[in-house]
């Protein structure tokens, strides 16, 4: 019974803004932010990183497994496991790849109010 409730909630739980870090083969730390939208089982959105911005071109979410496909000039893939409000896994694009760890964060809608 608890499993059914978790499955029903998990499809809505992936949509949101995530922030964290990734590492590449050179062991550089890359700051990343995802804006993910899941609709009718398909993933879309944007990846913003210190190495550029990439459009999410597809992906899937089944149980706690999340796969994100993105365009980095060549096809890229992120394979993640959902653990509460975190997504942890690996990414690859072309010859590069590494670990990734992001946490659900509040969406950035309003610019900072430091101008007074």
For 36-81, the pLDDT digits (tens) are 999 888 899 999 999 999 999 999 999 999 999 999 989 999 999 9
Q: What is the pLDDT of residue 40?
A: 84
Average pLDDT, whole number, for the chain?
86
| Confidence band for 10, pLDDT divided at 50, 70 and 90 | very low
Alpha-carbon gap, residue 116 to 109, rounded angstroms: 19
CATH 2.40.128.120 fits domain 17-105? yes
Cα–Cα distance list, 38 to 16, 30, 62 (Å): 9, 24, 11
Q: Is the pLDDT of residue 110 over 70?
A: no
Please choose, from the candidates 4, 84, 11, 2, the residue with its C-alpha nearest in 3D space to the C-alpha of residue 42: 11
């Amino acid at each position: 019974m608890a499993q059914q409730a978790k499955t029903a909630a998990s499809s809505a739980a992936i949509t949101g803004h995530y922030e964290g870090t990734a590492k590449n083969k050179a062991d550089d730390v890359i700051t990343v932010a995802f804006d993910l939208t899941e609709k009718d089982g398909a993933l879309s959105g944007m990846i913003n990183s210190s190495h550029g911005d990439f459009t999410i071109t597809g992906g899937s979410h089944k149980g706690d497994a999340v796969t994100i496909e993105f365009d980095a000039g060549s096809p890229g893939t992120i394979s993640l496991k959902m653990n509460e409000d975190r997504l942890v896994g690996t990414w690859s694009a072309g010859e590069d790849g590494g670990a990734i760890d992001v946490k659900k964060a509040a969406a950035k809608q309003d610019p900072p109010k430091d101008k007074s």
